[in-house]
Structure 1
Amino acid sequence: MPELSSKLINFTDSVIRRMTRISNKYGAINLSQGFPDFDPPKEIREALKVAADKGPHQYSITWGAQNFREALAEKQKRFMGIDIDPETQIAVTCGSTEAMMACVMTVCDPGDKVIVFSPFYENYAADAILSGAVPIYVPLNPPEFSFDKEQLEDAFKQKPKALILCNPSNPTGKVFTLEELKYIASLAEKYDTFVITDEVYEHIVMDPYKHIYFASLPGMFDRTLSCSSLSKTYSITGWRLGYVIGNKRIIENIRKVHDFLTVGAAAPLQEAAVTGLKLPDEYYEKLKNLYTRKRDLFLKGLDEAGLKYVKPQGAYYVIVDVSEFNVKNDLKFCEWLAKEVGVGAVPGSSFFKEDINYLIRFHFAKKDETLLKAIERLKTLKEKAKFYKE
């Protein structure tokens, strides 16, 4: 049998999705893969019933149904403060996962370099490798997860084609400051680099922090590929509706890549999701308040369990320090945690390029009763960890 592509040896399957399977195997509460266990807004569910009956059931326009793009452009204009042309500046994709891959494939040739902050959502390195690009990792230093300006400029001096920016950040919950974003923008302009943003948690930012769209910074729209999705904002992760916003030349080419990757996102789901895009601004305020309350509930439980963590500023993840348990292999520890404690988590090593194996990630996008049940189980961790062996 011929050899398979050598690119595949440079990454594994998704550790996040693997931890869901392990959680299911042991009946653990799944705080690993970040999806809610509560329903989307009623308005969207009712719209889906109508779409299931009336359609459309055939292909939509490859780069997104007309009414979906128009509603998306209007909604994002309100929050980004940018006029967006639904005809030329939006490409609708099968989730933000495809959006990010399409962006990297559009801007990079084999051998091009891409800056990736570490820790990072695990797809980013795989996107670069599958596109034939070479990741350059720049550390975000805990506990603030800030970057060193000299290290970042050293990475830019290697003439990368793009930088990938996740804001708010998965897995840390960091929200980049205006000063940090302006510095990245200055380097992107100085070294003529694209910035590919992953902003799927754009509406899950806790006070006093504020999300600033990178494309809204002076002079940045034309070099920014703004990726996001409806998954987290409307609790519809299974619908796989994502998008890229950018200038006409960029989007024209992303649409070509997208066409041959997936043809198009699901037509009836786009139809139903238009209702979500038209929800009033108070929906997003309630969403922020909901996740702020869930964060505080879960962090209170971690305090009661005596666990150390980094308080997230946005998104719905918490990085927890398990170094006190003498963890040498965080993947084995997370498997043990699911089996013996009954709570699923993601090993931090799947997010870090650095050799870090003492951090794990939980998420709190769950019903209160689910979080309280998980907290009760985590309160047994210290006692059970006395018998943990690798």
Structure 2
Amino acid sequence: MTGAGPDGPRIARRVERMSPGRLFRLLNEGHKHDAVDMALGVPEAPPTPPALVEEACAALRSGRNQYEIPDGSLELRTAIAESLAAPTDPATMLTITVGATEALFVSVLATVDPGDEVVILEPFYENFVSAVALAGGTPRLVRMRPPGWRFDPDELAAAFGPRTSAIILSTPNNPTGHVLTAAEIDTIAALCDRWNAVAIVDEIYSGFTFDGHRHRSPGDHPALRDRSLVIGSMSKTQAVSGWRVGYLRASPALTEVARRVHVVACGGTAAPLQRAVARAAAADPAFSTPSDGLERQRDLTVAAFAQIGVRCIPPDGGCYTIGDIRPATREDSEAFAFRLIEEAGVTVAPGGYFHHDARLGAGFVRISFNRRIDTLLDVERRLAGLRPARDVEQRV
């Protein structure tokens, strides 16, 4: 343990290795300027299904207000199992979690010991690194490079070794939008098999793919079926991020271990909301398919930022696009993001926040586009009034 100061309380060293949450300082600045948030993935689109809200109200009024069993409502687990491509036993392979975030931390704590190494593709969702830090593991970062945001197979192979316990993946990827190909999954599966590592796979954006790209779950690969933990959520596809209803799919053996951690971590997920999702899914065969595929939102966002010289890289899937600011400005991504708030009232996420070394993302920003069309048209108008970014000197 380490101290916060000479007379301060003692805190765990693992906390120092967790993500500092830099994005929230930026968001606070955005609130001061009444900026439109294009930084976080909090969904405005697709819209929350009205029937889902009604089912939640009905569950609350009916008295469904006490504990659900920790594994999760079997009614909901069955509905989720029926929506998945691969055969899934709802009794032994699915656990309902407090959002995808709890599923991530449960997966890492269940499979990573202090001193273990965990492979993470970079740029990364910052909670991946924090989860590894909490478990006492060491991240081994492997770069993905634009414009395709693919990893180099040799670099990935070099990151694996005797101390590797897991690889954490996101497909479609946050923040890049890259969808893993069959060949990439083959490469990952072979390395996990060789080094006896598990694959922890965040698939919360799997409902959104574009331009002919198809989501493939690494957990369905023959070599990964017994060594993967797949994370899903209702947050983005049903636009209920505040409900915190997620799930974890794994083999019966891994599920049994993960549930031990889950029980200790939270004891279970909100019972009335589980009932609501299960009943809404039973009433609508298309429930698991998002009502809005976000293609129009993606294209509007790309065009809006192009007018200020930011070249967006159209994603394969998900709800984010990476904007290359280098053709437009000599600022780094953080300076550019703060100026965008001040001068245009628009918040984006600096690319440096998704790298261990912020300099690697200095020329990029992440932009969320799961917004209503009227929000994106407002952003377009706000950006149209921004002075040319190329005229601004680099801030020191």
Question: How does the TM-score come out when normalised to structure 2?
Answer: 0.92
TM alignment of 1:330-349, pairs within 5 A:
330-349=333-352
Q: Does 1:184 align with 2:185?
A: no
Q: Distance in 2 between matches of 1:3 and 1:284?
A: 46
- Deviation of residue 135 (structure 1)? 0.3
Match of 2:3 in 1: none
Q: Does 1:157 align with 2:165?
A: no
- Aligned residue type for 1:139: R
Give yes or no for contact 2:280–2:287 (8 Å, CA) kept in 1. no
Q: Distance in 2 between matches of 1:270 and 1:20?
A: 30
Q: Distance in 1 between matches of 2:281 and 2:331?
A: 44
Q: Which runs of 5+ in 2 are unaligned?
A: 1-7
Q: Distance in 2 between matches of 1:153 and 1:383?
A: 43
Give yes or no for contact 1:325–1:385 (8 Å, CA) kept in 2. yes
- Aligned residue type for 1:247: S
- Deviation of residue 362 (structure 1)? 0.9
Q: Relative to structure 1, is the Cα distance of residues 36 and 129 closer, same or farther in structure 2, using a 3 angstrom cutoff?
A: same
Match of 1:48 in 2: 56
Q: Distance in 2 between matches of 1:32 and 1:279?
A: 34
Match of 1:367 in 2: 372
Match of 2:247 in 1: 243
Q: Does 1:15 align with 2:8?
A: no
- Aligned residue type for 2:298: R
Match of 1:68 in 2: 76
Q: Distance in 2 between matches of 1:224 and 1:12?
A: 25
Deviation sequence 1:294-326 (CA, Å, 0-9, x none)? 111222222333321211110010111122321
Q: 157-166 or 204-213: which moved more?
A: 157-166
Q: Relative to structure 1, is the Cα distance of residues 279 and 207 closer, same or farther in structure 2, using a 3 angstrom cutoff?
A: farther
Match of 1:271 in 2: 275
Q: Relative to structure 1, is the Cα distance of residues 195 and 281 closer, same or farther in structure 2, using a 3 angstrom cutoff?
A: same
Match of 1:298 in 2: 301
Deviation sequence 1:5-38 (CA, Å, 0-9, x none)? 1122223432334433332221000001111235
In terms of fraction of residues, the more helix-rich structure is 1
Alignment RMSD? 1.8
Q: 368-377 or 297-306: which moved more?
A: 297-306
Match of 2:4 in 1: none
Q: Distance in 2 between matches of 1:95 and 1:284?
A: 16
SS at match of 1:144: coil
Q: Distance in 1 between matches of 2:146 and 2:340?
A: 24
SS at match of 1:290: coil
TM alignment of 1:24-103, pairs within 5 A:
24-37=31-44, 39-76=47-84, 80=85, 82-103=86-107
- Aligned residue type for 1:381: L
Q: 316-325 or 13-22: which moved more?
A: 13-22
Match of 2:133 in 1: 129
Q: Distance in 2 between matches of 1:91 and 1:304?
A: 45
Give the total of aligned pairs: 384
Q: Distance in 2 between matches of 1:366 and 1:214?
A: 28
Q: 152-161 or 366-375: which moved more?
A: 152-161
Q: Relative to structure 1, is the Cα distance of residues 267 and 285 closer, same or farther in structure 2, using a 3 angstrom cutoff?
A: closer
Q: Distance in 2 between matches of 1:275 and 1:174?
A: 33
Give yes or no for contact 1:43–1:275 (8 Å, CA) kept in 2. no
Deviation sequence 1:185-219 (CA, Å, 0-9, x none)? 11111221100000000111113100001111123
Give yes or no for contact 1:75–1:278 (8 Å, CA) kept in 2. no
- Deviation of residue 42 (structure 1)? 1.5
Q: Which runs of 5+ in 1 are unaligned?
A: none
Q: Does 1:215 align with 2:219?
A: yes
